[in-house]
Amino acid sequence: MTPVAMMLFAPFTAADYRLGAPLIVLTLFSLGILCLDLFLPARHKHYCSIPALLGLGVAAYGTWKIQQVLPASGALYAFFGTLVLDPMSVYFFYLFLAGAAVSVLISIRYLEVERESHGEFYALILFAVTGMMCMAAGADFVLIFIGLELMAITTYILAGFLRGNKRSNEAALKYLLLGAFSSAIFAYGLSLFYGLTGSTNLAEVGASLARRAATEPRNPIMLLALLTTMTGMLFKIAAAPFHMWAPDVYEGSPTSVTGFMSVSVKAAGWALILRVLLCGLYPLRVQYVPVLVFAAIMTLTTGNLAAITQTNTKRLLAYSSIAHVGYMLLGLIASDGVANRTGIRGILFYLLVYTFMNLGAFAVLTSLRRRNILGDDIDDIAGLVQRAPVEAILMLVFLLSLAGIPPFAGFYGKYFIFLSLIETGHYLLAGVAVLYSVVAAYYYLRVANAMFMRKPQGEGAPVTPPAMNLALWITAAATVLIGIFPNIFIQAANWAGTLIGPTGVAQIR
Amino acid sequence: MLEIGTLHYLMVAAILFLIGLIGVITRRNVVIIFMCIELMLSAVNLNLLAFSRLYGLHGQVFALFIAADAAAEAAVGLGILIAFFRNRTTVNMDEVDLLKG
List pLDDT tens digits, range A232-286: 999 999 998 999 999 999 999 999 999 999 999 999 999 999 999 998 899 999 9
Distance from CA of A148 to the nearest CA of B (A): 10
Q: How far apart are CA A332 and CA A417, in angstroms?
A: 9
- Residues on chain A touching B100 (C-beta within 8 angstroms): 248
What's the pLDDT band for A388 if we cut at 50, 70, 90? confident
Strand partners, B92: B29
Between residues 352 and 371 of chain A, which touch chain B (CB distance below 8 Å)? none
CA A379 to chain centre: 29
Per-residue pLDDT at A484: 92
Cβ pair A188:B43 closer than 8 A: yes
Distance from CA of B2 to the nearest CA of A (A): 23
Distance from CA of B3 to the nearest CA of A (A): 20
Nearest chain B residue (CA) to A182:
B37
Cβ pair B41:A195 closer than 8 A: no
What's the pLDDT band for A379 if we cut at 50, 70, 90? confident
Q: How far apart are CA A336 and CA A348, in angstroms?
A: 14
Q: How far apart are CA A96 and CA A60, in angstroms?
A: 10
Mean pLDDT, rounded, of chain A: 90
> Pick the residue with more confidence: A6 or A387?
A387
* 3-class DSSP state of B29: strand
Listed by start position, the domains of chain A span 17-496
What's the pLDDT band for A196 if we cut at 50, 70, 90? very high
> Pick the residue with more confidence: A28 or A14?
A28
Q: Which of B10, B21, B99 is the closest to A252 by Cβ?
A: B99
Q: Which residues contact A418 (CB under 8 A, 6 or more apart)?
A: A430, A433, A434
- Residues on chain B touching A134 (C-beta within 8 angstroms): none
- At what angle are helices A141-159 and A266-275 packed, to 10 degrees? 170
What's the pLDDT band for B1 if we cut at 50, 70, 90? low
Per-residue pLDDT at A458: 67
What's the pLDDT band for A503 if we cut at 50, 70, 90? low
Question: Which of A66-75, A81-90, A181-190, A400-409 has the lowest average pLDDT?
Answer: A66-75
Q: How far apart are CA A488 and CA A478, in angstroms?
A: 12
- Residues on chain A touching B81 (C-beta within 8 angstroms): 173
Instruction: Give pLDDT tens digits for B46-85.
Output: 999 999 989 988 899 999 999 999 999 999 999 999 999 9
**Interface check B61 vs A, CB under 8 A:** yes
3-state DSSP percent of chain A in helix, strand and coil, to 5: 75, 5, 20
CA dihedral of A78, A83, A88, A90, whole degrees rounded to 10: -60
Between residues 62 and 91 of chain B, which touch chain A (CB distance below 8 Å)? 62, 65-66, 69, 72-73, 76-77, 79-81, 83-84, 87-88
A504 pLDDT exceeds 60? no
Cβ pair A173:B88 closer than 8 A: no
Q: Determine the residue type at A351.
A: L
Nearest chain B residue (CA) to A5:
B57
| B7-89 CATH choice from 1.10.287.3510, 1.10.260.40, 2.40.50.140, 2.30.42.10 | 1.10.287.3510
A336 pLDDT exceeds 90? no
Listed by start position, the domains of chain B span 7-89
Nearest chain A residue (CA) to B64:
A142
**Interface check A47 vs B, CB under 8 A:** no
Per-residue pLDDT at A420: 94
CA A424 to chain centre: 26
Question: Which of A9-13, A55-59, A403-407, B92-96 has the lowest average pLDDT?
Answer: A9-13
Strand partners, A140: A201
Q: How far apart are CA A147 and CA A167, in angstroms?
A: 28
Cβ pair A146:B77 closer than 8 A: no
Instruction: Calculate what percentage of chain A has a pLDDT beyond 70.
Output: 95
Q: How far apart are CA A168 and CA B59, in angstroms?
A: 38
Distance from CA of A175 to the nearest CA of B (A): 10
Q: Which of A164, A172, A198 is the closest to B55 by Cβ?
A: A198
Question: Under a CB-based contact definition with an 8 Å cutoff, are residues A474 and A102 in contact?
Answer: yes
What's the pLDDT band for B5 if we cut at 50, 70, 90? confident
What's the pLDDT band for A460 if we cut at 50, 70, 90? low
What number is the average pLDDT over the span A170-193? Answer: 95
What's the pLDDT band for A329 if we cut at 50, 70, 90? very high
Question: Under a CB-based contact definition with an 8 Å cutoff, are residues A26 and A126 in contact?
Answer: yes
What's the pLDDT band for A321 if we cut at 50, 70, 90? very high
What's the pLDDT band for A117 if we cut at 50, 70, 90? confident
